[in-house]
């Protein structure tokens, strides 16, 4: 039979398409049934190809999809042909505190060629240790004591601005309903600006975002896309080629603003109890090179601000949704301090309910919902009882872990009581069997958060001073559901609406 013109020209294309199909089908079959990770549970589609992972990463739904997969397949799941994630408490020790360090996975952490290392993305353990040793003294409790007046200065400004906003609204008979989310960003970025560079971003003063910060939010989202592209080197190569020059310039200018801030700070003669003073105190051979300072302070501006702002927003959102808990907290704060000026970090440190509220906020709203992948050392390792071959990227799902009913009673409810000192020793308490150690919002081990004391201090001061000064409540039907927020490495920003009235009884 004679072949038609059309089918003859289709011939080679069909052969190519068929070959590609066969190649991918064989690869998927190998991945699912014969790969060294084939014994790890997980859905076939995710084990066969990286695509479902990429799609959910780009959609911002990855944390929620992992949660569903963990509920179905257990605490150890295969989430790509060559990658495993964990939602078991032992993962904190097995991955982050083993005898031989699991290094950060370059897919997520590698710097662009030619760029300097920063404390957060340095993969080489010696380089990282040098930086951490230099920076650590800036984050001790002693350092925090010296920084306390700076924190009060900004929290007082926040309270002043919100008081003004509430009184403007009530005098013009407008609703006293506010989106409080940006205000938490204003204060945390202003504090970091002051402690890092000796100059505030002036967001509180101007009641709006500094342009540098507005731009930053887009770049955090873009980082998910860059990570997705890195799984396909050709796509990454093409992506880097097609980035428009205007965007590259914007990126350079963004970085340059930090370089300029560092420059100005380094030229100060005055002694300040800030973070940079500890970096300056060490010479650049033992501490940071100038480029490393720039890169470190660039990432720290986000790591030290956006994280704390997320927890503040999440915790207040839960407090207004659980008015009985807000009432207990308000009583604790208002009874302990008869004047606003009496509020100090030392006293806040010992208030049981305030600290329980913060721990519960950190449990339900961890600003880093999944701890990004590390690579299993070449000799392989056992994680949560499962043998994982060397070189496999492994991560921890703290969002899933923190809401796991097998770890926590009423796991998805906001119940600060579970953190009160006696609840873990009282056999009649519903929280007696809670696994508090499973909650590690600041991570553990040699790469754990250096800023935990500072972050907790900010959380305590802001919540205590706000609750002392204002009566908060939830606007009917408009409370944000935390579970609906997407994640692009960090948690998506959405309005957090609250009603807020200055106390009348003062
Ligand atoms: C509630 C607020 C915060 C939370 C929950 C938090 C959480 C974390 C986590 C989970 C990591 C480890 C990331 C990883 O290894 O994958 C980390 C690292 C880090 N954080 Fe925080 N952070 C917070 C606030 C801060 C603040 C205020 C600062 C300083 C201004 C800070 C400085 C750092 C630094 C320097 C590292 C890198 C440590 C290293 O690699 O040696 N963080 N943080």
pLDDT at 394 over 50: yes
pLDDT at 116 over 90: yes
Query: Is the distance from the beta carbon of residue 121 to the nearest atom of ligand 1 less than 6 Å?
Result: no
Ligand 1 mutation pick, 92, 108, 189, 449, max ligand atoms within 8 A of CB = 449
Give the residue whose CA is nearest to atom 30 of ligand 1: 304
In the chain, what are the domains? 125-502 (1.10.630.10)
pLDDT at 223 over 90: no
Give the residue whose CA is nearest to atom 32 of ligand 1: 451
**CA dist 493 → 170, 254, 309, 383 (Å):** 27, 21, 10, 33
Measure 450 CA to ligand 1 centroid, in angstroms: 6
Q: Contact, 416 vs 325, CB < 8 A?
A: yes
CB-based contacts of 345, cutoff 8 Å, min separation 6: 144, 145, 148, 151, 457, 460, 461
Query: Is the distance from the beta carbon of residue 308 to the nearest atom of ligand 1 less than 6 Å?
Result: yes
- Note the pLDDT of residue 1: 43
Measure 441 CA to ligand 1 centroid, in angstroms: 9
Q: Contact, 412 vs 66, CB < 8 A?
A: no
Q: Contact, 439 vs 363, CB < 8 A?
A: yes
Query: Is the distance from the beta carbon of residue 373 to the nearest atom of ligand 1 less than 6 Å?
Result: no
Give the residue whose CA is nearest to atom 26 of ligand 1: 304
Instruction: Give residue 250's pLDDT band: very low, low, confident or very high (50, 70, 90).
Output: confident
Strands, E assignment, 254-409: 370-375, 381-383, 386-388, 393-397
pLDDT at 174 over 70: no
Query: Is the distance from the beta carbon of residue 443 to the nearest atom of ligand 1 less than 6 Å?
Result: yes
Q: Contact, 355 vs 421, CB < 8 A?
A: no
- For residue 310, the ligand 1 atom closest to its alpha carbon is 1
pLDDT at 217 over 80: no
Q: Residues forming the annotated binding site for heme?
A: 449
- Note the pLDDT of residue 4: 54
Query: Is the distance from the beta carbon of residue 132 to the nearest atom of ligand 1 less than 6 Å?
Result: yes
- For residue 371, the ligand 1 atom closest to its alpha carbon is 16
268-304 pLDDT, tens per residue?
866 788 999 988 888 777 889 999 999 999 999 999 9
Give the residue whose CA is nearest to atom 23 of ligand 1: 307
- For residue 139, the ligand 1 atom closest to its alpha carbon is 29
Burial 386-400 (b: 16+ CB within 10 A, else e): bebeeebbbbbbbbb
- Least confident range from 1-10, 212-221, 343-352, 469-478: namely 1-10
- Note the pLDDT of residue 8: 58
Measure 303 CA to ligand 1 centroid, in angstroms: 6
Query: Is the distance from the beta carbon of residue 144 to the nearest atom of ligand 1 less than 6 Å?
Result: no
| pTM listed for this prediction | 0.94
Query: Is the distance from the beta carbon of residue 372 to the nearest atom of ligand 1 less than 6 Å?
Result: yes
Query: Is the distance from the beta carbon of residue 441 to the nearest atom of ligand 1 less than 6 Å?
Result: yes
- What's the CA gap between 366 and 372, in Å, rounded? 13
74-106 pLDDT, tens per residue?
999 999 999 999 999 999 999 999 999 999 999
Q: Residues forming the annotated binding site?
A: 449
């Amino acid at each position: 039979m004679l072949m038609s013109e059309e089918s003859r020209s289709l011939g080679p294309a069909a052969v190519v398409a068929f070959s590609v199909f066969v190649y991918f089908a064989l690869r998927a079959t190998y991945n699912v049934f014969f790969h060294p990770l084939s014994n790890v549970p997980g859905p076939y589609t995710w084990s066969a190809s990286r695509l479902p992972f990429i799609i959910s990463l780009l959609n911002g739904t990855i944390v929620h999809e992992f949660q569903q997969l963990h509920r179905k397949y257990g605490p150890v799941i295969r989430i790509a042909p060559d990658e495993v994630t964990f939602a078991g408490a032992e993962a904190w020790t097995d991955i982050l505190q083993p005898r031989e360090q699991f290094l950060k996975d370059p897919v997520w952490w590698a710097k662009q060629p030619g760029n300097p290392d920063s404390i957060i993305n340095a993969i080489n353990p010696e380089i990282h240790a040098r930086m951490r040793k230099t920076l650590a003294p800036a984050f001790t409790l002693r350092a925090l004591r010296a920084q306390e007046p700076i924190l009060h200065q900004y929290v007082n400004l926040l309270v002043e601005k919100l008081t003004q906003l509430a009184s403007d609204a009530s005098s013009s008979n407008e609703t006293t309903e506010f989106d409080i989310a940006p205000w938490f960003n204003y204060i945390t970025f202003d504090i970091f600006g002051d402690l890092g560079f000796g100059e505030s971003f002036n967001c509180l003063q101007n009641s709006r975002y500094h342009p540098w910060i507005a731009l930053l939010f887009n770049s955090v989202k873009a980082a998910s896309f860059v990570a997705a592209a890195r799984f396909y080197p050709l796509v990454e190569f093409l992506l880097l080629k097609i980035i428009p020059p205007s965007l590259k310039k914007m990126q350079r200018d963004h970085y340059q603003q930090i370089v300029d801030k560092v420059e100005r700070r380094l030229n100060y003669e005055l002694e300040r109890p800030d973070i940079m003073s500890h970096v300056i105190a060490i010479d650049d051979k033992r501490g940071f090179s100038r480029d490393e300072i720039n890169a470190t302070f660039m990432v720290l501006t986000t790591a030290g601000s956006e994280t704390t702002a997320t927890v503040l927003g999440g915790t207040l959102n839960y407090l207004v949704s659980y008015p009985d808990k807000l009432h207990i907290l308000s009583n604790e704060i208002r009874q302990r301090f008869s004047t606003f000026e009496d509020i100090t970090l030392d006293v806040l440190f010992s208030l049981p309910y305030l600290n329980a509220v913060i721990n519960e906020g950190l449990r339900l709203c961890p600003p880093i919902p999944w701890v990004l992948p590390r690579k299993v050392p070449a000799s392989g390792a056992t994680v949560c009882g499962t043998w994982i071959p060397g070189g496999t990227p492994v991560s921890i799902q703290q969002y899933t872990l923190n809401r796991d009913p097998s770890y926590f009673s009423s796991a998805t409810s906001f119940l600060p009581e579970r953190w009160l000192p006696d609840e873990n020793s009282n056999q009649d308490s519903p929280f007696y069997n809670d696994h508090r150690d499973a909650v590690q919002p600041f991570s553990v081990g040699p790469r754990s958060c250096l800023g935990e004391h500072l972050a907790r201090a900010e959380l305590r001061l802001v919540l205590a001073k706000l609750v002392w000064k204002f009566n908060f409540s939830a606007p009917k039907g408009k409370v944000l559901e935390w579970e609906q927020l997407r994640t692009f490495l960090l948690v998506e920003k959405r309005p957090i609406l609250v009603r807020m009235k200055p106390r009348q009884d003062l």
